[in-house]
Structure 1
Amino acid sequence: MALGFVIAATGLKAEARIAERPGHVKAVIGGGREDRLATLLQEGLTESTRGLISFGIAGGLRPGLKPGTIIVGTSVLHSSGRIYPADARWSDRLFEALPNAESGPVTGSSTIIANRDEKHAIYLKSGAFAADMESHVVAQMAAERGLPFAVLRVIADPSTLSLPPAAVNGLNPDGSPNITAVLKSLATQPSQLWDIIRIAGATRRAMKSLLRCHRLLGPGLGCADLS
């Protein structure tokens, strides 16, 4: 009898490749578009689906979280104001398997939270450790379908760093980098260059940490029914 699988919701192609490495994981790529992500999740659900996981990098909201810090989401704050608790057993397994991980609430957003002042304001209001563009979609769909969900995110841009326009607009709908858009933005505003270099370095650290997570978690990314 097949064990089934979990669906990993990601924003980037690179995240999806990492998520699927341990086996028993099918990744879908939202590319920063919540309607696309919701459709892909809906299409991917079958009787063999054991749970959903929001997987990838995120923006830091809580001060002091450095690039590469692993966040296990205990709950997700939806844009509607509703709070969705993550599956406790799955979250505990993630936290226990990942050394030096932090656990706390995360918030989902339909747009990139780029400005450091906005990040600080959201943290003061919600207490969320991190923000991403997939967790709220995952949480809502899991609740509607009666499935467990988990959140595993790694900090890329910290709370003190504002993202430049080239980084905000540098993504294709399929989750691949839009190099043309980045270069056009840099040509228009060359002063972004140093911020882009800093973001690139932070993202590399985050992706390296994310890669380490899959090695530690094994099949199903820690889902109790598949490990």
Structure 2
Amino acid sequence: MGFLVGLRAEARLLRPLGGGGDVLVEISGASPAGASAAVTRLIAAGATSLVSLGVAAGLDPDARPGDLLVPSRIVVATATGSRDYFTDLTLCARLGGMTPGALLHSDVAVTTPQAKRELFAASHCTALDMESGILAAAASEAGLPFAALRAVCDPAGSGLPAAALVALGADGRLRPRAILASLLRRPQQLPALVGLASHASMARRALAGRIPRIRLA
């Protein structure tokens, strides 16, 4: 089983599954280019199924931080509308079971509640991330089963402070100096950043509770 994650911290959450050939992990750095390269590496390494794992932005107002999503489909916007990629039922069961709702892919960060409201009205998706659509497209092209396990981080009613947008390096590590520099320029974003950190902690705890129950075969 090949896992695509955005952060090194998310990769560490997978340690209970063990190493060896049963688990392959690649880190995208939470960027489309990084996700595409990481999925290519997973397929080249021999992954026979692909899972997008990590946090997601809530779009549905009822989705709360820490809610887990194993969607039946991943929605990707196209020039003529959108395309649905349907996840593998058996693989979803191995991740803990399919949940209601769909996951929307975006190539850009969605930073405001207004933008989230507009995307929810247009797509009716529960949450959004920046990696799952890339994994779904690559898996479909390669003929591999795929699924996603995502935990809601920032809910629909909250946005992302500027510091969050510079917080992550291409290697999936946090950049404390960049965060501090952003806070020094705009100290008023500190409460939002603290709130985001709290939501992220809830999402990580939810993933940490589910991961040991994943069935690799």
Report the TM-score when normalising by structure 2: 0.92
Deviation at 1:187, TM superposition (A): 0.5
Cα separation, 1, equivalents of 2:42 and 2:95: 23
Q: Is contact 2:96-2:213 (8 Å) kept?
A: no
Deviation at 1:47, TM superposition (A): 7.5
Cα separation, 2, equivalents of 1:93 and 1:32: 24
1:60 aligns with 58
AA at the equivalent of 1:54: S
Cα separation, 2, equivalents of 1:79 and 1:169: 25
Cα separation, 1, equivalents of 2:71 and 2:207: 15
Deviates more, 1:24-33 or 1:52-61: 24-33
1:171 aligns with 168
- The superposition leaves residues 109-146 of structure 1 with CA deviations (integer Å, 9 ceiling, x where unpaired) of 11111111111111110011111111011100010000
2:92 aligns with 91
1:223 aligns with none
Deviation at 1:48, TM superposition (A): 4.0
Deviates more, 1:64-73 or 1:36-45: 36-45
1:17 aligns with 12
The one of 87, 111, 114 equivalent to 1:114 is: 111
Cα separation, 2, equivalents of 1:53 and 1:146: 14
AA at the equivalent of 1:83: D
Count of residues in Structure 1 that have an aligned counterpart in Structure 2: 211
Report the TM-score when normalising by structure 1: 0.88
Q: Secondary structure at the match of 2:150?
A: strand
Q: Is contact 2:72-2:99 (8 Å) kept?
A: no
Deviation at 1:87, TM superposition (A): 0.7
- The superposition leaves residues 141-181 of structure 1 with CA deviations (integer Å, 9 ceiling, x where unpaired) of 01000000001000110000011100122111011111111
Cα separation, 2, equivalents of 1:110 and 1:120: 17
Cα separation, 2, equivalents of 1:20 and 1:41: 19
Segments of 5+ residues of structure 1 without an aligned counterpart are 1-5, 221-225
- The superposition leaves residues 7-30 of structure 1 with CA deviations (integer Å, 9 ceiling, x where unpaired) of 111111111121343132211111
Cα separation, 2, equivalents of 1:168 and 1:71: 23
Deviates more, 1:82-91 or 1:156-165: 82-91
Segments of 5+ residues of structure 2 without an aligned counterpart are none
Q: Secondary structure at the match of 1:112?
A: coil
Q: Is contact 1:60-1:159 (8 Å) kept?
A: yes
- The superposition leaves residues 190-222 of structure 1 with CA deviations (integer Å, 9 ceiling, x where unpaired) of 00010111111111111011111111224x3xx
Cα separation, 2, equivalents of 1:32 and 1:153: 13
Q: Secondary structure at the match of 2:3?
A: strand
RMSD: 1.5
Q: Is contact 2:50-2:145 (8 Å) kept?
A: yes
- The superposition leaves residues 43-65 of structure 1 with CA deviations (integer Å, 9 ceiling, x where unpaired) of 22248422000101111011121
Cα separation, 1, equivalents of 2:176 and 2:99: 33
Cα separation, 2, equivalents of 1:75 and 1:150: 8
